[in-house]
Chain A
């Protein structure tokens, strides 16, 4: 068994264990919420019979451990239960919204990730000269402004004044890909501005770190030009931290876009979660929590796997 394989297996097992622990935390967290679930669903005018019926329906009377395992095995089989408020099947309702959230995150990543890495490389190439300072300044400014404000400003300029792109990013199945991309142009722009700085600065720092090494000096003495040195010799060795920060930001694009979804009326998971939290729809909140946790853990796992695989000492053990 090669050390790489062992490390990978360990890392994946760790992720699964972590997910299991988080599922316990999510379940326990919704258990200790103040107030009785049935009471908060039915409101003040609830009759005792209706409360009893609903409690039986929710299985509130069963012991917690039993309820947890019932929920867990359901979730493993893709059955997340039904929403209390609308009686809809949660898996079904979440599927299209999760897909929408991934759609937005994917296209935002397609724009933001290459741009961030390119700008990072550019900043390294012109270190401490005006392009470096300009890139750092602009990206830092955009990360410092709250995202809803960036959203409103872009909405006013691009949708209301110039009318280039719509301000309502509503997509549905009858639209072509081009129509969908047109609809989500503004949220993509905002998300790009939000995640760009972090990834770009990390790229810059990681590469500069490698640039101190002896083999870079060798490459320079070999007569390679600055760009070749950076992307042939420095970049591959700086991949691990860059991938790490890219994954963190991808996770943010999936999990942290609630505000943008509300501002641009995008039918993703964030809006769905917020609506159900305010109605105390516990099964939906649990399901969303579990999915978000899985996304985070999964992306971090991928980052670590890339880091392991990009380490030549592990790939070619003596």
Chain B
């Protein structure tokens, strides 16, 4: 792009040149309308966020049974609403590191067992109260108490003690954990006045917006917090509308009733993207669709049977047909490039000969039964049928049994020896392994029991040398890939869409959906 055009574009954005004149000049200089528009939007980004206006989001996943209590948030709507009015101590940054929110700085002791977070001074809640270290202590206690129902309970388990020390908060851990900041970035751990003990659902926090109305499972309205300490929040008003029906959600975007939607169905995403005023954004993420075998149950207790099935799945075909290309191939480990300290391992590919070889070596010729259901992941029965076909090309017979949705998560998953399932991923490798692959894990759904793996996991948790730690995690993924009960053919992307009324979308933000849940406060309404 030549410099004269860029100058013109910046003039146009600044309002010194009308859009029509700019496009006319661009055409005269031989630019196509598309590239001229690209230049304009680039210049608009460079000009920085516009303030004011209303951003409306149409989201799936809200229900009338939801609660405003951040401890009980389980879905996208809850995440987005909580992000409007509340904040955590620290947050996952766009580059995968950690950025400070209510903590101004933090440091760990040499053994990574004691962590001190210094509070950001002069921050107030939306009710005017000052934020204190004591509030943080009480918040952490509320999420880790005996009778808490908090979604962050699993994270809090390794924390022995939290205490206030002047304007700092000190965390004492049971065992070394270099990942503590990643855990405290969990979206349930919103700092509330008095820890939220009095009224957890009052929605009083330090976020860029203040809730004006909240109708569970229907609609939420928030307005800019005039006393917000940071630089988030461009629109004056944010409106979140719950639209659980896929078709209705896409129609609401197309008809201009909302400016942002989540979960664009992969089947229609390319069609939606064709509209001139709509952009579809896909973000690779940590969520993965899986086939899980119990390593302690015949025939899956024989690693050759497991290897036969791992070689007998066509990963690329799964990504193309089940995810319509909105995803990436998996490698029989739950870890992908969205995690910090990731190492790419040699990619396992579909190989019918190797699959047959391993099955012959195992000497097994009995029935292999896979259970599946519609709600284990979108398109699971189809994926099971594809798996059946790719195995039969290798001369292996797979039986598929379709189970009812109701009760699948209690009767089949983590219960029957071979079934389809879904994992949402975790912020760190340690969390993912600890949740599902440690021999004593609550949700060890592959019945994986490997002493070496367990030892490495604990050792890596306390290792502050990043290079060493990265190598340890690579080794752990290798063990899982070659011995585990997990067949992971694909990682699914987040597929989301915005209209051209809003700008400021950042591609490839790690973490949660919709720019790690910050789309509402980071996007802006175009002038």
Given contacts A160-B255, A170-B218, contact A50 B147 (CB under 8 A): yes
- B contact residues, range: 20 to 34
Question: Could you tell me if A86 and B247 are in contact, using CB atoms closer than 8 angstroms?
Answer: no
Given contacts A86-B65, A86-B66, contact A265 B255 (CB under 8 A): no
Report the minimal beta-carbon distance from B130 to chain A, rounded to whole angstroms: 30
Interface string of B77-111 (1 = CB under 8 A from A): 00000000000000000000000000000000000
Given contacts A155-B251, A167-B248, A167-B252, contact A267 B65 (CB under 8 A): no
- How distant is the Cα of A125 from the Cα of B321 in the complex, in angstroms? 57
Interface string of A112-127 (1 = CB under 8 A from B): 0000000000000000
Question: Could you tell me if A86 and B252 are in contact, using CB atoms closer than 8 angstroms?
Answer: no
Residues on B with C-beta less than 8 A from A152 are: 247, 251
- How distant is the Cα of A155 from the Cα of B250 in the complex, in angstroms? 11
Given contacts A50-B147, A267-B215, contact A168 B67 (CB under 8 A): no
- How distant is the Cα of A262 from the Cα of B58 in the complex, in angstroms? 14
In the assembled complex, B11 has its CB within 8 A of some CB on chain A:
no
- How distant is the Cα of A272 from the Cα of B217 in the complex, in angstroms? 9
In the assembled complex, A264 has its CB within 8 A of some CB on chain B:
yes
Residues on B with C-beta less than 8 A from A166 are: 255, 257
**How many A residues have CB within 8 A of the partner chain?**
30
Residues on A with C-beta less than 8 A from B248 are: 155, 167-168, 262-265
Report the minimal beta-carbon distance from B182 to chain A, rounded to whole angstroms: 23
In the assembled complex, A275 has its CB within 8 A of some CB on chain B:
yes
Question: Could you tell me if B65 and A155 are in contact, using CB atoms closer than 8 angstroms?
Answer: no
In the assembled complex, A213 has its CB within 8 A of some CB on chain B:
no
Of B147, B216, B219, B245, most buried by chain A (CB within 10 Å of CB) is B245
- Which residue of the partner chain B has the closest CB to A172? B219
- How distant is the Cα of A159 from the Cα of B257 in the complex, in angstroms? 9
Given contacts A167-B248, A168-B58, A172-B219, contact A275 B255 (CB under 8 A): no
Question: Could you tell me if A170 and B64 are in contact, using CB atoms closer than 8 angstroms?
Answer: no
Residues on B with C-beta less than 8 A from A262 are: 244-245, 248
Question: Could you tell me if A172 and B252 are in contact, using CB atoms closer than 8 angstroms?
Answer: no
- How distant is the Cα of A271 from the Cα of B217 in the complex, in angstroms? 9
* Interface residue from B64, B219, B251, B255 paired with A276 (Cβ < 8 Å): B64
Of residues 244 to 303 in B, which have CB atoms within 8 Å of A's CB atoms? 244-245, 247-248, 251-252, 254-258
Residues on A with C-beta less than 8 A from B247 are: 152, 155, 263
Report the minimal beta-carbon distance from B252 to chain A, rounded to whole angstroms: 5
In the assembled complex, B472 has its CB within 8 A of some CB on chain A:
no
Report the minimal beta-carbon distance from B444 to chain A, rounded to whole angstroms: 14
In the assembled complex, A281 has its CB within 8 A of some CB on chain B:
yes
Question: Could you tell me if B257 and A168 are in contact, using CB atoms closer than 8 angstroms?
Answer: yes
Question: Could you tell me if B245 and A85 are in contact, using CB atoms closer than 8 angstroms?
Answer: no
Report the minimal beta-carbon distance from A272 to chain B, rounded to whole angstroms: 5
- How distant is the Cα of A264 from the Cα of B244 in the complex, in angstroms? 10
* Interface residue from B218, B244, B255, B442 paired with A267 (Cβ < 8 Å): B218
Of residues 201 to 258 in B, which have CB atoms within 8 Å of A's CB atoms? 213, 215-219, 241-245, 247-248, 251-252, 254-258
Residues on B with C-beta less than 8 A from A156 are: 251
* Interface residue from B213, B215, B216, B241 paired with A168 (Cβ < 8 Å): B241
Question: Could you tell me if B241 and A170 are in contact, using CB atoms closer than 8 angstroms?
Answer: yes
In the assembled complex, B63 has its CB within 8 A of some CB on chain A:
yes
Residues on A with C-beta less than 8 A from B213 are: 172
In the assembled complex, B410 has its CB within 8 A of some CB on chain A:
yes
Question: Could you tell me if B251 and A271 are in contact, using CB atoms closer than 8 angstroms?
Answer: no
In the assembled complex, A44 has its CB within 8 A of some CB on chain B:
yes
Residues on B with C-beta less than 8 A from A170 are: 218-219, 241
Question: Could you tell me if A159 and B255 are in contact, using CB atoms closer than 8 angstroms?
Answer: yes
20 sampled A-B residue pairs with Cβ under 8 A: A86-B67, A93-B64, A155-B248, A155-B251, A160-B255, A163-B255, A166-B255, A166-B257, A167-B255, A168-B58, A168-B241, A168-B257, A168-B258, A265-B218, A265-B245, A267-B215, A267-B219, A275-B217, A276-B64, A278-B63
Given A152-B251, A172-B219, A278-B63, 9 more contacts at CB 8 Å? Answer: A85-B65, A159-B251, A168-B257, A172-B215, A262-B245, A267-B215, A267-B218, A272-B64, A275-B64
Give me the interface of A with B, judged by CB distance under 8 Å.
44-45, 50, 83, 85-86, 93, 152, 155-156, 159-160, 163, 166-168, 170, 172, 262-265, 267, 271-272, 275-276, 278-279, 281
Give me the interface of B with A, judged by CB distance under 8 Å.
58, 63-67, 147, 213, 215-219, 241-245, 247-248, 251-252, 254-258, 410, 442
